[in-house]
Amino acid sequence: MLFEKPENNVSAKREEEILKYWEKENIFKKSMSNREGAKKFVFFEGPPTANGTPHPGHVLTKAMKDLIPRYKTMCGYHVGRKAGWDTHGLPVELEVEKQLGIESKQDIEKYGIENFIKKCRESVFKYEAQWRAMVTRGGFWIDMDDPYITCTNNYIESIWWILGQFWKENMLYEGHKVVPYCPRCGTALSSHEVAQGYKEVEDPSVYVRFALKDQANTSFLVWTTTPWTLISNVALAVGKDIDYVKVKLNDEFMILAKARLEVLKGEGEVVETFKGEQLVGLDYQQLYPFVKPDKKAHYVISGDFVSTEDGSGIVHIAPAFGEDDYRVGKENDLPVIQPVGLDGKFRDEVEPWKGQFVKAADPAIIKDLKQSGKLFASAKIKHTYPFCWRCDSPLLYYARHSWFIRTTAFKEEVLRNNDLINWFPGHIKEGRFLNFLENMIDWAISRDRYWGTPLPIWICKDCNHHHLVDSIANLKELGRNVPDDIELHKPYVDQLELSCPKCKGMMKRVPEVIDCWFDSGAMHTAQWHYPFENKDVFAENFPADFICEAVDQTRGWFYSLLVTSTFLHKAPPYKNVVVLGLICDKNGVKMSKSKGNVLDCMSLFDKYGADAVRWSLYSGTAPWNTRRFYEEAIAESQKRYLGTLQNVYSFFVLYANIEKFDQKQSAMPVSERSEIDRWIISRYNHTVDEVKKAMDRYEVVWATGHMEKFVDDLSNWYVRRSRRRFWSSEKSNDQRSAFITLYEVLTGMARLTAPFTPFIAEDIYRNLVARVDASAPESVHLTDFPVANIELIDEELERKMDFVMKVVQLGRAARNEANLKVRQPLAEMKVVVADEFERNTLKDMEHLLQEELNLKSICPITDSASLIKYVAKPNFRMLGQGPLKGMIPQIKAHLDGVDGSEVKRQLDNGGYEFTLDGKPVSLKAEEVDLQALASDDYAVQTEGKLSIALNKLLSRELVLEGLARELVNKIQFMRKELCFDIIDRIKVAYEVIDSDQKTDIDDAINQFGGYIAQETLAKSIDAGTGSTEWNINGIRVKLGITKEPSA
């Protein structure tokens, strides 16, 4: 056997065999070493956390991050594929807390920090086996044997060095600011972390009276959605240029912005109007005197952030719990009242609600305000509120000590570097990402946690000198008790004492660790242990040509990479970034374990194959769109593309083996091949050209769309039209042309589809190329990506074939409408041609159309009037959206009374014009519905300007030929059911059930018996006893077939 017989269907089992082959022969490593010394295409792997199992979102990112490096490798580049693991931070700590059954930092301290750190280290790679299995089974080629790991000493040392560069430039500083704070995790968060956790929630919306000290029965009306912060109020802010009013409402007076009078619902009388600056300095009574301020407080100040878009135009100021509040508090030297502990609960001084979580105390506070007469109105409001991105607890804005990177100092450089990056899709660059960059604030980098890169700042107890340790060597140089095998984590680094370089006093490290997003965001440099080694490797691998992650990373990894690189290297860290959309279930609901709608990816690989899962993720919609991911879609993609390609491949092998095809002996210049062969070769090269253009623009869905269309044309047009050529009883140049053409196209498709569907590509290539050519590369993944031969692209021929295929499509539709099977020959089809090109194409390809539609003749005509009568109706939906909406009844009446064919003629030439009540009216093609009414003798179909008409009248000879073709169909079906080989000769017996109809079958066999015998390999067709009854165009016939002994 020349070629191994492939399976009829795409097989997940076959993929397992290919995986074993890749592993045994080290194909991945060979694909890398093959390109050593070639131009580099640099890829950065965004590091996942391995303490959770992979889900469909990870499969999507892996699929995209595998496709581009595979493609670029086959295009001749050397593409490094270094894997990475993000191992620090809250994700790991919270997982360990769950394992240990603990819920707070106090619990961790009791358990022991060292024990907790050991558990974190163990947890980091808890699911590594599942990740490796997913990566391997999916055919995702990445080097997981030499990854960068953020918790290793080498990586941490590089991070320390990077922090040292910020320190030297005075870009890392200690501050006291209001920061987003998670009371559950007990740590501050950065703005990009906060951006990932917003949810729509329902919160209180209250209007509160703040009584003026020197004006009886007069209050400021103040709005807030955080009643718990009222306990810490120290001032009220107004806009100095905003107009305010005093309103008499029953027995009291209210002061609020004039533009916000609507909150009083039309009640009350305005008795005075003044600018906000006239209110500045007025004193009011403290709302809750639980904490006595240590500075002047409870008076009106001006604030540039006050607006009249909502609320009352007067803002309550609590510097302990708001960024604007804190800033304006500093400007006005206001006290900070902070009766809330780090656990987010009221301290003892807030007697009524001590020990309660602040947001949980809101209802009780509102009740108290109502009872004291201070509450004016209370309702609920839906708005977005930040939650912890890891533990899902509501965040508080909390004034506290933290360490910051002064990102605002080089904001303009960050913006300029963003301009140099190509974003796919482009709107992310100018929209979501740019908006975030324009509003960037200093990066709160420190975390009051345990498992993370320790902030390497030591402080002298004697002279208060601060020193940042930027290397292990520096640590040992100053250290008094640094072991050789020091682990750079808490609690080990906390135990180290350093000698102060200023006064030789004892230095101790600050307790914080750093934001884990800084770890992953510095991988461009730290993955190489730069600058301590690999300086040349770093230089060769910076910046990245390509990165790819989900859309949520715009405020995560994409941001942290850009910020660290801009400061450190004065350049963007990546040139091209593909942003992936979210993965949803069949109903468009975001996948999550809590909703129970997450698919098991390994099960999908085992059931449908990795190629099918991959193709479903590459096709249908652009990578950056939200994608619905469900089993039926995977099954459909398997059938639509892979199944079709597999069928063509199986067909070729079947007949190539029978005919003992030899690709070397069958070589033939393309110019000497049949027209349909030249067409499919042109289509193939055209497709290769389009796919390469699309891939170079990261337009993956355009590439897969072209490939799907080509494979459909290959199977449902080329192979179907050429089928007879492959089983010709006599060897001929036409058969040789067919075989070599399909062989070249299939082997070319193996290379074209290899980056997308690496398994079927390998199967086809190994069988059709490597099996018969010892000099060929052993794997398709060691070959080059195909390059289009532009000289073989015949656009004129493609245009002609495209026209013929459209005619065939309409012809089939006409047959279906008239209930005429394709096996029933028809006398004639008329085609309305628009120009000489279409007329000549019909003439040149008449034989093809005759065979495809089973026709005796084809007649081009220029006017459809003799065949088709058109009725014109208004398109109500389109007209209803435009300026003619009010004239629809008159337009309908007009169209009812005119010749629809004339309307169509004018529309074909640009538009239909007429007058109504003396006014000119012009209708476009989309504003008119044209219904084609055929004559009784013809079945008519129209699409755009193309119309065809099939003659439905059947002569006696046509009826008999139709019966013969039906007999062929049924005999072929019986051959298949009996598992006869395609070369087996047979005998046929037939028996007509109704003797009155026997003449028709006998005449059909007498007249077309040679045709039936040739098609079915029948040596004889005789009246006799049949075994299986069939309906042959309304005639009940029993057929029996027996296999003839081979000679």
* DSSP letter assigned to residue 714: I
From the number of C-beta atoms within 10 Å of its C-beta (0-12, 13-18, 19+), residue 866 rates as: exposed
* Catalytic-role residue among 167, 517, 528, 624: 517
For residue 900, the model assigns a pLDDT of: 87
Looking at the fold, whether 775 and 911 belong to one and the same domain comes out as no
For residue 191, the model assigns a pLDDT of: 62
Q: Which amino acid is at 592?
A: S
Residue 125 within any structural domain of the chain: no
Looking at the fold, whether 965 and 904 belong to one and the same domain comes out as no
* Catalytic-role residue among 527, 553, 638, 646: 553
Active site residue 86: yes
Q: What is the CATH number of the domain that holds 280?
A: 3.90.740.10
Q: Is the alpha carbon torsion for 550, 555, 558, 561 positive or negative?
A: negative
For residue 130, the model assigns a pLDDT of: 87
Q: Is the alpha carbon torsion for 855, 859, 862, 864 positive or negative?
A: negative
Residue 575 within any structural domain of the chain: no
Active site residue 47: yes
* Catalytic-role residue among 213, 382, 590, 843: 590
Looking at the fold, whether 888 and 1017 belong to one and the same domain comes out as no
3-state SS, one letter per residue, for 521-562: HCHHHHCCCCCCCCHHHHHHCCCECEEEEEHHHHHCHHHHHH
Active site residue 874: no
Give mean pLDDT, residues 929-955: 85
Looking at the fold, whether 872 and 973 belong to one and the same domain comes out as no
From the number of C-beta atoms within 10 Å of its C-beta (0-12, 13-18, 19+), residue 704 rates as: buried
Using the CB atoms, write b or e for 589-612: b if 16+ within 10 Å.
eebeeeeebbbebbebbeebbbbb
Q: Pull the structure tokens for residue 193.
A: 């972390």
Give mean pLDDT, residues 612-618: 93
* Catalytic-role residue among 131, 557, 624, 679: 557
pLDDT tens for residues 339-353? 988 888 898 999 999
Looking at the fold, whether 896 and 992 belong to one and the same domain comes out as no
Helix (H) or strand (E) holding 177: strand 172-182
* Catalytic-role residue among 6, 22, 47, 223: 47
Looking at the fold, whether 903 and 983 belong to one and the same domain comes out as no
For residue 390, the model assigns a pLDDT of: 66
By C-alpha distance, which of 1047, 1040, 938, 936 is closest to 990?
Answer: 1040
Active site residue 22: no
Q: In the Cβ-directed half-sphere of 623, how many Cα atoms lie within 13 Å?
A: 33
pLDDT at 383 over 80: no
Q: Which residue has the higher pLDDT, 84 or 60?
A: 84
pLDDT at 91 over 90: no
Q: Which amino acid is at 783?
A: T
For residue 598, the model assigns a pLDDT of: 80
User: CA-CA distances (angstroms) from residue 20 to 27, 611, 713?
Assistant: 10, 16, 33
pLDDT tens for residues 252-276? 999 999 999 988 988 989 999 999 9
Indicate the pLDDT class of residue 882, thresholds 50, 70 and 90.
confident
* DSSP letter assigned to residue 882: S
- What's the rounded Cα separation, in Å, for the pair 161 and 19? 41
Looking at the fold, whether 928 and 963 belong to one and the same domain comes out as no
Q: Which residue has the higher pLDDT, 246 or 917?
A: 246
Q: What is the CATH number of the domain that holds 676?
A: 1.10.730.10
Residue 405 within any structural domain of the chain: no
pLDDT at 850 over 90: yes
- What's the rounded Cα separation, in Å, for the pair 365 and 352? 9
Q: In the Cβ-directed half-sphere of 250, how many Cα atoms lie within 13 Å?
A: 2
Indicate the pLDDT class of residue 388, thresholds 50, 70 and 90.
confident
Residue 244 backbone phi and psi in degrees, to 5: -120, 160
Give mean pLDDT, residues 614-627: 88
Give mean pLDDT, residues 981-1007: 91
Give mean pLDDT, residues 21-29: 96
Residue 679 within any structural domain of the chain: yes
Lowest mean pLDDT among 266-280, 842-856, 861-875, 1027-1041: 861-875
Residue with tokens 């018969």: 772
Looking at the fold, whether 997 and 902 belong to one and the same domain comes out as no
pLDDT tens for residues 570-611? 999 999 999 998 888 888 887 776 677 788 888 889 999 999
Indicate the pLDDT class of residue 195, thresholds 50, 70 and 90.
low
What is the SS3 assignment for 121?
Answer: helix
For residue 190, the model assigns a pLDDT of: 60
Indicate the pLDDT class of residue 917, thresholds 50, 70 and 90.
confident
- What's the rounded Cα separation, in Å, for the pair 849 and 808? 7
What is the SS3 assignment for 71?
Answer: helix
Looking at the fold, whether 930 and 960 belong to one and the same domain comes out as no
Using the CB atoms, write b or e for 401-439: b if 16+ within 10 Å.
ebbbbbbeebbeebeebbeebebbbeebbeebbbebbee
Cα–chain-centroid distance for residue 315?
42
Indicate the pLDDT class of residue 32, thresholds 50, 70 and 90.
very high
Indicate the pLDDT class of residue 338, thresholds 50, 70 and 90.
confident
Residue 193 within any structural domain of the chain: no
* Catalytic-role residue among 56, 65, 66, 86: 86
pLDDT tens for residues 279-318? 999 999 999 989 999 889 999 999 888 988 888 999 999 9
Q: Pull the structure tokens for residue 766.
A: 């190994």
- What's the rounded Cα separation, in Å, for the pair 361 and 657? 81
Indicate the pLDDT class of residue 379, thresholds 50, 70 and 90.
confident
% of the chain at pLDDT higher than 70 = 98
Active site residue 590: yes
pLDDT tens for residues 104-156? 888 998 999 999 999 999 888 888 888 899 999 999 999 999 999 999 999 99
Residue 258 within any structural domain of the chain: yes
Q: Do residues 793 and 682 touch, judged by C-beta distance below 8 A? A: yes
Looking at the fold, whether 277 and 380 belong to one and the same domain comes out as yes
* Catalytic-role residue among 168, 295, 593, 843: 593
pLDDT at 1 over 70: no
- What's the rounded Cα separation, in Å, for the pair 369 and 372? 5
Give mean pLDDT, residues 203-223: 92
Q: Is the alpha carbon torsion for 102, 106, 111, 112 positive or negative?
A: positive
What is the SS3 assignment for 295?
Answer: coil
Residue 410 within any structural domain of the chain: no
Residue 904 within any structural domain of the chain: yes
Lowest mean pLDDT among 188-197, 283-292, 991-1000: 188-197
Give mean pLDDT, residues 651-676: 90
Helices (H), strands (E): how many in the chain?
A: 36, 38
Q: Pull the structure tokens for residue 952.
A: 């439905």
For residue 583, the model assigns a pLDDT of: 83
Give mean pLDDT, residues 849-865: 88
For residue 727, the model assigns a pLDDT of: 80
| Mean per-residue pLDDT over the chain, rounded | 90
Give mean pLDDT, residues 802-817: 94
By C-alpha distance, which of 639, 591, 583, 585 is closest to 611?
Answer: 639
What is the SS3 assignment for 782?
Answer: helix
For residue 192, the model assigns a pLDDT of: 56
What's the domain count of the chain? 4
Domain end marker among 791, 811, 834:
791
Residue with tokens 């135990």: 495
Looking at the fold, whether 906 and 961 belong to one and the same domain comes out as no
Question: What's the domain range around 770?
Answer: 627-791
Looking at the fold, whether 778 and 714 belong to one and the same domain comes out as yes
What is the SS3 assignment for 246?
Answer: strand
What does the radius of gyration of the chain's CA atoms come to, in whole angstroms?
A: 39
* DSSP letter assigned to residue 78: B
For residue 683, the model assigns a pLDDT of: 97
Q: What is the crossing angle of helices 675-696 and 795-818, to 10°? A: 100
Q: Do residues 428 and 551 touch, judged by C-beta distance below 8 A? A: yes
